[in-house]
Amino acid sequence: MTTPLTSITPGGPVRGGVVVIQEAFGVTGHIVDVCRRFAAAGYHAVAPHLFHRSGDPVLEYDDMKSAMSLIGELTAAHIDEDVDGAVAALSAASIDPRNTAIVGFCMGGTVAFHTATRLDLGAAVSFYGGGVANGRFGYPSQLDVAGQLSTPWLGLFGDRDKGIPTEEVEELRAAVAHAPVDTDIVRYADAEHGFHCDDRPAVYNEEAARDGWARTLQWFGTHVDVTRAAGTD
């Protein structure tokens, strides 16, 4: 089954590619806007529609019942298939996986982490990805596989996130320090889960969102091979 993709290309030179993984509400307007922002920064952005096997809905942010039902239908194998399809689409656009980053939000942050243990990409960033101590979607816990990271990984977390205790974040910090690639974790003292989404006023934290975005672009700039992306091997 072919994975539907939202794909947005830069108007000028391409620095590399980025796979953008959705939150629990589908490929929302916010996720599309994130793709546009990456494209404005020079990255060909593709967002795989992970709910496509369930009709590809886009949910309201207060419809947690439907979100949890859709999440319950996801499997690690299907998610990996969709991520691989997005990476393949970028490869078809002449962007090597080493020139490709992955970034995810909420459940997408979990996916970005596990992709970083499975594929050798340029960079990975997780915004408040759960499943630190207990696995999700059939993936092991992040703590269990932290040492297997093969892609440089940055984790961004809010201390007020009710679903990801700071104690677990610090355990993860210690665990990823043993990975054979660069890793970093940043905590925002006043941020809640979903702090990057400016379409959710109840949880949006402008200061944390701006800092997290700047760190994401810096992480990409450090680890994505822009020389290869430019086709000047």
CA-nearest of 133, 96, 75, 106 to 233 is 96
Enumerate residues 6+ apart whose C-beta is below 8 A from 119.
83, 87, 97, 150, 151
Specify whether 44 is catalytic: no
Quote the tokens at residue 63. 């419809």
Non-local (6+) Cβ contacts of 202 within 8 A are none
Read off the DSSP letter of residue 67.
H
Q: Catalytic residue among 114, 193, 196, 223, which?
A: 193
178 catalytic per annotation: no
CB count within 10 Å of CB 51 equals: 23
Q: Which of 80, 82, 96, 161 is flagged as catalytic? A: 161
- Closest C-alpha among 147, 125, 144 to residue 134: 144
- Annotated active-site residue in 35, 80, 106, 197: 106
96 a catalytic residue: no
E-strand spans in the chain? 5-8, 16-21, 43-48, 100-105, 123-127, 153-158, 183-188
Q: Which residues are catalytic?
A: 106, 161, 193
